[in-house]
Amino acid sequence: MFFVGWGLLGCRRAERPLIAIIPPTTAQEVWESAHVEAGRIATTWGWDTFWNGPSREDDLLRQIQIMEKELDQGVAGIILVPDHAVALISPVRAAMEKNIPVAILDNPLAASPKEDVVFVLNDNAATGHIAAERVSHYLKGTHNEVAILGVHPNFLGTIVAANTIKDDLQRYDRGIRFIEQGSTFGSTEAEESAEELLEAHPGVRAIVALNVIQTRAAYDALSRAKLQGKVALIGCEQDFDIIYRVRTGEIDSVIAKDTRTMVRDAMEWIHQRRKGTVTGETIVVPPKLVTKQNVDSPEIQWILAVNGGAN
């Protein structure tokens, strides 16, 4: 993936406020619509944005280094999608000491928002509710097995989503069995884990994958085992190839994060914070279920678009 400073192209102009946007990784498309939206908004304000992140979602040190560099540059604000719930607290506090407003997107830090910090979060409980409702269509009788992939202690939203899925589905089947797998950030490891799960649990009814890597790995494992259509796959987070599989019906659905709205709310909060008119708060952005039936609807395409043409 590429990164570019909108309105900069490598040259920072001190007279224009600069917002640094640091995604968890630049290797996935889930944040590309946010990238486009941030650039569009900055252009209308006469601001600049700088976009850069790690090449892997588990490269925590690289994300911290990028943030520290931007703090040294004296940016007007930072939009951060943290790779760790605890390790990013110190860099955020350093930004607060310099009176640089910070917007935390998608997953919360293990700390409450303060005066110069806003949380703009995916509604992870809603993700769990949507996933459970979708899975319920595939349950039969009692003692069903459902797999949840991608639960990770450093991404607090995955814990909320997983717990919500389990609580909801137990209302359908009190004897339901859940198989949880943690998040692995390498595609090879994720595929091996998904294959091992299918071998160990041949009766699994549905798989909920809480991130792009696990969704793609589960899809590949199901394809090799010739289990497509027999085991429902519900993904969380959008990527081009995953959305294509939803369109063809090979993946049941994807619960898409509205990253465009997240970054729009974050930009607006930073704008207002610089005026001193807002303080720290938490904003929750609901996800959207993407299915074969609605994937081309205007509402869903607005979330998925990366061409900058939607308003």
- Phi and psi, residue 139, nearest 5°: -80, 145
Residues of the chain with pLDDT under 50: 1-13, 309-311
Q: Give the relative orientation of helices 240-248 and 212-224 as an angle to the nearest 10 degrees.
A: 50
- Distance between CA atoms of residues 54 and 15, nearest Å: 28
Radius of gyration of the chain measured on its C-alpha atoms: 20
Domain with CATH 3.40.50.2300 in the chain: 18-122+258-286, 124-237
Q: What is the pLDDT of residues 283-292, one digit of tens each?
A: 999 999 999 9
Tell me, what's the pLDDT at 308?
Answer: 53
pTM of the model: 0.89
The per-residue pLDDT for range 72-91, each reduced to its tens digit, is 988 999 999 998 999 999 99
* Sign of the four-CA dihedral 188, 160, 236, 135: positive
β partners of residue 206: 146, 232
The gap from C-alpha 205 to its chain's centroid, in whole angstroms, comes to 25
Architecture of the domain made up of 124-237: 3-Layer(aba) Sandwich (3.40)
- The predicted structure's pLDDT at residue 150: 94
Residue 284 has a pLDDT of: 97
pLDDT digits (tens, 9 = 90+) for 182-234: 877 778 889 999 999 999 999 999 999 999 999 999 999 999 999 988 999 99
pLDDT at 278: 79
Question: What DSSP element (H or E) covers 19?
Answer: strand 18-22
The pLDDT of residue 151 is 93
Question: Which fold, 18-122+258-286?
Answer: Rossmann fold (3.40.50)
